[in-house]
Homo-oligomer: A and B are copies of this chain.
Amino acid sequence: MRISELSDRSGIALATIKYYLREGLLHQGEQVAATRAVYDDSHLRRLRLIRALLEVGRLPVAAIKQVIDAVEDESLPVHQMLGTAQYALGPATEPEPAEEWQTARAEADRLIDERGWTVAPDAPTRNELAQTLVTLRRVGLPTDLTRYAETAGGLAAAELDRLPLDGSRESTVEAVVLGTVLYGRAFDTLRRLAHESESARRLTAKDQPPSAG
């Protein structure tokens, strides 16, 4: 198909598609004449992935480029390709030299080891967890996250069961990014709904005067 049809079928503006081509996010079409290139379903699939990373994953263009590079590098095992996408979804968290931070990082590593989880030693997610532990300690809230880790483990296993991981590299990354972000968002909303309910149960009895008898 021509680029105008690619635009129609994907619902993405021509200028945006040209921008993706320039940035190397979308692979070039097949050049069939000096001023004409044709595109195929692989371009439609790629545009779907770009939109998922952009609109649902809210990744900046530089991070999208990294994920796409990992998708295109077929020598990279699927697990590592998914790691690239997963790591891009978290906030960038730099380790700090302070003892407070190092202690929290050791605590994060211990929590992961205790569960027997297989996580790369240089996974940025470890620093992300350490950072939250530092903040919890600073504000004086309990830092024991055992129950959270157990719950997250059970949920993650069930989650991967429902994500299609056996398609093309492209659709696998897309499913993992969409699933991670959307089910994460759903869980966070449900947790706040449950909070409201739990708080109603505990506090509205208190707010009312004790009943007679």
Contacts and interface: CB of A to CB of B under 8 A. Distances in A.
Interface of A: 52, 56, 77-79, 82-83, 86, 89-90, 111-112, 115, 117-120, 123, 125-126, 128-129, 132-133, 135-136, 139, 141-142, 145, 147-149, 151-160, 162-163, 165, 175-176, 178-180, 182-204, 206-207
Binding site secondary structure of chain A = helix
A86 to B, nearest CB: 6
A115 B200 CA distance: 14
A153 B200 contact: no
A73 B74 CA distance: 61
A82 B117 contact: no
A146 to B, nearest CB: 10
**Could you say how many copies of this chain the assembly holds?**
2
A149 to B, nearest CB: 5
A194 B189 CA distance: 20
Nearest to A83: B196
30 contacts: A52-B139, A56-B139, A78-B206, A78-B207, A79-B200, A79-B204, A79-B207, A89-B192, A117-B194, A117-B197, A119-B193, A120-B196, A125-B193, A126-B193, A129-B193, A141-B162, A141-B163, A147-B158, A151-B151, A152-B190, A153-B190, A153-B194, A153-B197, A155-B191, A157-B194, A159-B195, A160-B195, A165-B199, A180-B195, A188-B188
